[in-house]
Amino acid sequence: MLAKKWKQNVPLYIMFIPIIVYFLLFKYFPMVGSVIAFKDYNFRDGIWNSPWVGLDHFHMLFSNPGTVKIIRNTLFLSFFGIVFGFPFPIIIALLLNEIRRMWYKRIVQTLIYLPHFLSWIIVGGMVITVFSQEAGIVNHIMKWITGSPYPFLYKEPTWLAIFFGSGIWKEAGFAAIVYLAALSTIDPSLYEAADIDGCGKWRKMWHVSLPGIRAMVVLMLIISLGHVMEVGFDKVFVLQNATVTDISEVISTYIYRIGLQGAQFSLSSAMGLFESLVGLILVLLANWVARRYDQALF
C-alpha cells in the first residue's frame, strides 16, 4: 500500500525537491553559524577555531540597559503592527468577496496589490515626499492652513502613525489573497440559505464568511506571532532618524549597527539567536492556545 502511494506521488516529490534544496541551503545550513554566539569570533581563526566563551556575549547583552530598550521597542512595534495591521487583510477580503462586478473587482484588486511589489526604499521615499517638514505635500497644505509646517517624521506619535499606516498600505492588500482563497472554498449553499432567512450582506459576512475562514485566520495569526520579534530591518531603517531612535531602534537595526558596521559578529549573533528563541516560544504558545479551540497548526 505504501509503495503504491509512493509511486503515485513521485511527480509531486520531484516537484518538491527545489523547495527542500532552498530550505536546506538558505534556512537550515546557515543555522550552523549561530555557534559564533558562544565564541569570540574572528576572521583569522574562523568559525570552528575561534575561542569558546560560552554565555559571555548573552551576559554582556542583558547587562546593557540599552538592550532592554531595544527589545521593548521591537516588541512594541511588532505587537501593535499585528494589532493594527492583522484585521485589515480580513476586512479587505470580505469586502472584495461581496463585489459582483468582476471588472471593478479586478481594478480594485490590482490597485491594492500593487504596493506590495514596491521595495521599502521606494515606500520610504514616498513617505518622505509626502510628510517631509520642508518639502512634503502634507506640510505644504499645513502651511497654507495654519501658517507653519509640522514635523511629522520627527515626533514620536506621528512617526508611529506613519510607520504603522505605511505598513498596512503596503501589505494589507496582498495579504488578503490568502483569505480570498479561503472564502472561495465556502459552500455557496450557505449563502443561499442565509438569503432565504433574510440575511443582508453584513449578516452573511458575520455568520457565514467569517466562520468559514476562521481556521485560516488562526493559522495566519500563529505565523504572525512567530515573527513578533522581527519588525523588519528595511521597514524601520528607511523611516528611522536620529530624533526618534528612542522608539525606532530595534533588534534588526541593532544587529546591523554592531554586527556589520561595528564588526561585533558574536554579539550580534547572540542577539539574533535570542530573537529566534523568543519567536519559537511565541509560536508554540499560540499553537497551544489554538489547540484548545481545535484550530492548532501542529
**Backbone angle region of 54, left / alpha / beta, with phi > 0 → left and psi within -120 to 50 → alpha:** left
> pLDDT per residue over 89-147, tens digit each?
999 998 888 888 888 888 988 899 999 998 888 998 898 889 888 878 888 888 888 88
Tens digits of residue pLDDT in 21-42: 999 998 888 888 888 889 888 8
Residue environment code for 140-178, b if the CB has 16+ CB neighbours within 10 A, otherwise e: eebeeeeeebbebbeeeeebbebbbebbbbbbbbbbbbb
Question: Could you tell me the fold of the domain covering 59-119+167-291?
Answer: MetI-like fold (1.10.3720)
Distance (Å, rounded) from C-alpha 188 to C-alpha 194?
A: 10
Region for 79 from its dihedrals, namely left if φ exceeds 0, alpha if ψ lies in -120 to 50, beta otherwise: alpha
- 3-class SS of residue 52: strand
pLDDT surpassing 90 at residue 225 = no
Spans of all domains in the chain: 59-119+167-291
Q: Is 147 helix (H, G, I), strand (E, B) or coil?
A: coil
Region 260-269: mean pLDDT is: 82
pLDDT band at 163 (very low <50, low <70, confident <90, very high): very high
Identify whether the C-beta of residue 287 lies closer than 8 Å to the C-beta of residue 270.
no
pTM score, whole prediction: 0.81
Sequence-ordered list of residues with C-beta below 8 angstroms from that of 123, at least 6 positions apart, any chain:
115, 166, 170, 238
Give residue 255's pLDDT: 83
CA-to-CA dists, residue 154 to 56, 120, 164, angstroms: 37, 19, 15
Instruction: Give me the half-sphere count of Cα atoms (radius 13 Å) on the Cβ side of residue 210.
Output: 10
Which pLDDT score, from 0 to 100, does residue 188 have? 84
Cell of 280: 519559537
- Other beta carbons within 10 angstroms of residue 248's beta carbon come to 21
Whole-number Å distance between alpha carbons of 188 and 5: 33
pLDDT digits (tens, 9 = 90+) for 191-213: 888 888 888 888 888 888 888 88
Could you count the other beta carbons within 10 Å of the beta carbon of residue 209? 22
Closest Cα to residue 216, out of 191, 185, 188?
A: 185
In the chain, % of residues over pLDDT 90: 10
Residue of 259, 262, 232 lying closest to 37 (CA atoms):
259
- Under 8 Å between Cβ of 113 and 169: no
